Amino acid sequence: MSLKTSYRFIAPFYDAFLERASASARQRSLDKLVQQQGQRVLIGGAGTGLDFPFLPPQHDYVALDLTAAMLGRARKRIHGLRMELVQGDSMALPFADASFDTVVLHLITAVVPQPPRCLMEAARVLRPGGRILLFDKFLRRGQHAWLRRAASPLAGRLATRLDVVFEDVLERVPQLHKLSDVPALAGGWFRLIELQKE
């Protein structure tokens, strides 16, 4: 089953699983946008729009998701934001190089089949000096996590990968460097990471 098919079925239940559990981490990540002025911001893998309530109103947003079902639900959360919804693939973004000031990647990098491609595409559409705000579940180099690794092939086909080592992904995108990396949820399995493009 493709991720596009899976998430079409998951869309009606997505919020029940994630809204309350992830709200605090989303807000902590998106607070970094509050002090900025007039940016063009890409919300990659926007899902049902769970980030939208935490977005400051002074920016222009583009929210991208793979499925129309998710975007249909996200539309109800726009509430006055300057927001364009785009159906597309986070591993092949339909945008020009250097066209965004900030890219938000919340719970998408470890979902896509090829996390390095997702991060490479985010870096491509980001202007020099721009930032990427990540919130996701990542293993660390050398972390055994046998159960997560064993379950990842099945979980990855249905909804999300469990075995992504962020440092391995970042190594493939040398134009990005890490500004911060702090634990968010589940004993640090979920992390808040801020990157900047050279």
**How would you write the pLDDT of the chain (198 residues) with one tens digit per residue?**
444 545 455 555 556 666 677 899 999 999 999 988 999 999 999 999 999 999 999 999 999 999 998 999 999 999 999 999 999 999 999 999 999 999 999 999 998 989 999 999 999 999 999 999 999 998 875 655 545 444 334 333 444 556 889 999 999 999 999 999 999 876 767 999 999 999
In the chain, the amino acid numbered 58 is Q
CATH classification of the domain holding 89: 3.40.50.150
CA distance 24 to 31: 11
> Is-contact 52 78, C-beta < 8 A?
yes
Phi, psi of 96 (to 5 degrees): -70, 160
Which range marks the domain in which residue 99 is found?
A: 3-197
Ordered strands of the 176-185 beta sheet = 82-87, 60-65, 40-44, 100-106, 126-137, 190-197, 176-185
Tally the domains of the chain.
Answer: 1
The number of angstroms, rounded, from the C-alpha of 21 to the middle of its chain's C-alpha atoms is: 16
Backbone torsions φ then ψ of 104, nearest 5 degrees: -105, 125
